[in-house]
Structure formats: structure tokens, C-alpha cells
Structure 1
């Protein structure tokens, strides 16, 4: 269950829900499979998968939720090809070109007929809610998907005020300084081997490097020409590696072997739920420490105004 990505949000004035109240709210928005004519559906599912029945796990103030998203995959090219075929047949039969409204109606008809036969894709997204620090992290590869999960949480709770986590120093500025000023790097920070560099003006090209020496002459020359870092691979406290993005998104999380070995030593009696909770407890401990250090390195957290309900 180890997270691969993390989009972070600050929670403002969260409703004081007990564990039982939270469970009741989640049950009302539990996932159910797509119906024949539905294009997509999103709902809460057991974090432990088929082996579990709980829709949330709470350990020492850390809540784990999981959402399932199902959608039917109906390529636009398939619909277009069938519409063109039917339109040509109808035009030949009636001896006139179809009007735009008629083609649109034909398209809607084809979509409704083909949708129940389309392939279904199921995706899972995990949400970690640190109720003590009032911080939410969503394990999703894109911010758009993370926002979908937050929308589901708002529907579940009635309302929820959150803003993307923000820091006083922008990640771009800090990452560029870490690259250009090695002596100013935090002691617990180690550079990885991936970077993305963008020009500050004019040239819109993006330079990406993988498996490169970030302290090498080539990268330093590019930085001296005025480019800034918008993605940077880091290791924090030798415990977790990640790629930090300019919007504070954390991608490509990899936990150190020592952390995974520690988790494996926890007795779980072959119980998937106990295994999940043991991994979650250790993962959140490592991530909490890493996030606190990142915020500190980025000048502390900014204080955006809480959004309206």
C-alpha cells in the first residue's frame, strides 16, 4: 500500500467527526460498480481491498481512505467511424446531406448504444488524512485526479475547506539554489539523478535529465545560462526518495530498503488488514518527517486564506 505519489493539502476548520461518524458518512458514498449506461463512477472502497470490509483505518490520528474510480473507455475514433458510416447510409437513402443537428443526434445515439459494451477501467486512489496536523495527502499521479478525490470527500462530509499546501519559498527557487549552491543544501538532503530545467524567459524549451550527475559541469553550465529547476530528484534522511515538482507535488516515491525491512519485521499473522495498518503506520511516520523537513527547507508554510464553503 506504499504511496507512489503525493499531492498535499492544508485542511481548514475540519468538522470534528468521530470514527463512527466518519464511517457512517463513508458508507453513504460507498463505491458500487457502473450500471450499463453510466460513463463513470467514483466511491469509497476498503483500503485493504477484497480482503477488507472497513472503509477507513485510523491509527494515532492518521486516517486512511481509498476511492475507486470506474470509467468506460469508448474511443472517440470508434464513435466517429460509426457515425460517419450511418450518416453516409442515411444520406444515400434520403438523397440529401444531413443537417448538423441530425449528425449530433446520430452521434448521441451511437454513444448510448456503444457505451454499455465499452471496456471498463478501474483505478484506485488512496487518501491520507493527518487529523493532528490537519494535512491531507492524496496518492494520485495528477492533481486533477487528486481534486476528484477531494470533491468526493466534500460530498461525503457535506463540506470541507482545503487549499493546496503552499510554502513561503517556491520549490523552483529552492531547488535551483540546492543545485547551484551545494554548500547551502540541508544536511539531510541528498540529490538524486533526475532534473527538469526551464528557461526564465524567451526560450520555452524544457531540458530533462535522467541518470545524470547534477553537480556535473553540464548541468551547472545550463543553470548558469539562466534556467531554473522545476523538478528535482531528492533523498531525505536516507529514508525516502522522491521527485519534487514546482507545484509542491511529490512524485516517484521510493522508500529505503531499511524502511521496508522494518515493516516486514512486524508480525501480522498473515492478516491483510494488520499488514496494511503496519505499513500505513510506518509510511506515515516517514512521510510526516520528510514533509516537515521540506516545509522547513522551503521557508515554512505560507498562510493562504481559507476558501469559502
Structure 2
């Protein structure tokens, strides 16, 4: 249940949506097996997976929603299609004694793709979505911004309308991270610098990455003085979690504090998988919400709307 990555979004002009309304709309977009001619599909699946005795497509706990998108995609490598097309082209040219024209090959390629697609392997990926209705925040558990946007599109299609923008802060994360690295005195009292960093140069001098290194070393200061800026930085919030902050405000490689995990493991769930899921979810969202509020404060507060229309509608 514990999220590993998080892309954050701000909801705008969200009317009250009751549980019955959510249930009806989510069920209409429930995941189903791929059809023979479908290359990919995205739909809602039970967050508890097979552990759930019923098709519970969302959980609503103390103002927090948990939904899980199931992304299915048929894997048909281009090389496999190309090899089959080449063999068929060779056979046809041998039979006719004439070279095939480019358009004929393109038509044959489409035919081969349609024939092989139903036999291709299906790769499935589960992507969790957290909706904090108190703060009107959405967090999506994926390392890919593209995948996060796909899940937002599914939620938008499910609800009929969704005005949402990526969460932004007054101070750019890259500028703040660079300042924290270069001047320890600027670091907030509850912020702890980790041992992982990525530094980018303004020109084409490449990227410097460091893991398990002393970020307060003289070598690091020299790189910063040379004009490099921090695009990724490992941070820690005591009692909550550690994570790598990216320059687009994504949180990745999240690890929750051992005390939090121990608290979850000691909770009485009656050996029920759904109860376990909901217990973990509540403890996790509590830690995430607190950590995000601190992060926004570290970065000068949330950016104000600039008058541009939010994505979606």
C-alpha cells in the first residue's frame, strides 16, 4: 500500500461529490479484459486486488479517497512485426516476380499488426490515486508524469469534469535545493539533507550524479560555485519519511519512517486484507499530507493562479 513515488496536483472548483455518486461513476469505468483488437486499456480496479471479497473499486476514509487504475497494454515488439512483414514481402515478390510498392508494404504491415496483436502478451500496471478532499490535492503513485496524466484523464472521464493543475510553489524547487546545498544556514529547521543529488549545468556540460556522498563536502561546493544547480535532492523529515525531491516537485524513492511502519504492523486488522489496506492508507496519507504541507512551506508557499485556465474541464 505504501506509495513509492508521488506526482501532486491541485484541484480547482470541485463541487461536493458524495460516495454514491463516486461509486456510480467509477463502476461505469471499471477495468475489463482487453478485447482482441485493443492494444491498451485503462480502467478502475479494486485497490485491495484479489484480497477483496467484493469488487470494492474505491475506499473513502476520513475525507481521503483511494482509487487504483489498472493499465493493460499488449506487448508486440516492432522487430517481430518487421520480421513477419519481410518474410511475407519476400514470398509475394518471389511468386509475382515483381517488387512490392511502398504503399503495398504499409498495407501489409497494418494487416500483420492486426493479425499478431490478439496473440501478444498483456502487461498490466496498477497505479494508485490518492484524493485528499480536505486539501483538494491529488497524489498519483507512479514514477512517470505521463502515466500520472493518463490516470488524471481517466478520473476526468469518470467524473465528467476535472479542473486540475500540477502543484506549484512560489520558489522553484531547483533554486531552493541549490540554495540549501550551498548554504546550510538557509535550511529549514525540520529539513535534513540526505546523501543523493543530481546537479545540472546551464550549458552542455552534462549531469553530475552522486549517491551515498557527503553533500556538504568541498567538492560539492566547488560544483555549485561553478554554476551547477540541483535538479534532484534527497531529503528527510524525521518521523515521517525520506524522499528524493525533483525539480518538477515530484517526490520519488519515498521511504516511510520505521516508526510509522511499526505502528501500522501493530494495528489490529483481524487478519483482514481490506482492513490492513485501509489502516496503512490512513497512516500513510497522514504522513504524506503533513510532509507536503512542510514542503510547500519550505518552498515559500503555494504559487498563486496566474489566470491561465487549468488543465481539463
TM-score by length of 1: 0.98
- Give the corresponding residue for 2:244: 243
- Give the corresponding residue for 1:208: 209
Whether the aligned pair in 1 keeps the contact of 2:239 and 2:259 (CA below 8 Å) is no
Which digits, 9 at most, give the CA deviation of each residue in 1:196-234, with x for residues without a partner?
Answer: 00012x224011111111111221111111100000011
In 1: Cα distance, 2:204 partner to 2:45 partner: 46
1:13 Cα deviation after fit: 0.9
Matches within 5 A, 1:21-60: 21-52=21-52, 53-60=55-62
- Give the corresponding residue for 1:138: 140
Which digits, 9 at most, give the CA deviation of each residue in 1:227-286, with x for residues without a partner?
Answer: 000000110134201000000011000001111001111100001111011000000000
Does residue 118 (structure 1) correspond to residue 120 (structure 2)? The answer is: yes
- Give the corresponding residue for 1:263: 264
In 2: Cα distance, 1:163 partner to 1:193 partner: 31
SS in 2 for 1:168: coil
In 2: Cα distance, 1:14 partner to 1:105 partner: 47
Matches within 5 A, 1:143-222: 143-200=145-202, 202-222=203-223
Number of residue pairs aligned between Structure 1 and Structure 2: 308
Matches within 5 A, 1:252-291: 252-291=253-292
RMSD, aligned CA: 1.0
Matches within 5 A, 1:62-77: 62-77=64-79
Whether the aligned pair in 1 keeps the contact of 2:238 and 2:257 (CA below 8 Å) is no
Whether the aligned pair in 1 keeps the contact of 2:239 and 2:260 (CA below 8 Å) is no
**Runs of 5+ in structure 2 lacking a partner?**
none
Which digits, 9 at most, give the CA deviation of each residue in 1:35-64, with x for residues without a partner?
Answer: 122111110011111122211111111110
Which digits, 9 at most, give the CA deviation of each residue in 1:68-117, with x for residues without a partner?
Answer: 00000000011111111111211121122111111111101111111111
In 2: Cα distance, 1:240 partner to 1:265 partner: 19
SS in 2 for 1:169: coil
In 2: Cα distance, 1:159 partner to 1:15 partner: 10
Does residue 100 (structure 1) correspond to residue 112 (structure 2)? The answer is: no
SS in 1 for 2:286: helix
In 1: Cα distance, 2:102 partner to 2:161 partner: 42
- Give the corresponding residue for 1:20: 20
TM-score by length of 2: 0.96
SS in 1 for 2:302: coil
**Runs of 5+ in structure 1 lacking a partner?**
none
In 2: Cα distance, 1:15 partner to 1:101 partner: 52
Whether the aligned pair in 1 keeps the contact of 2:29 and 2:158 (CA below 8 Å) is yes
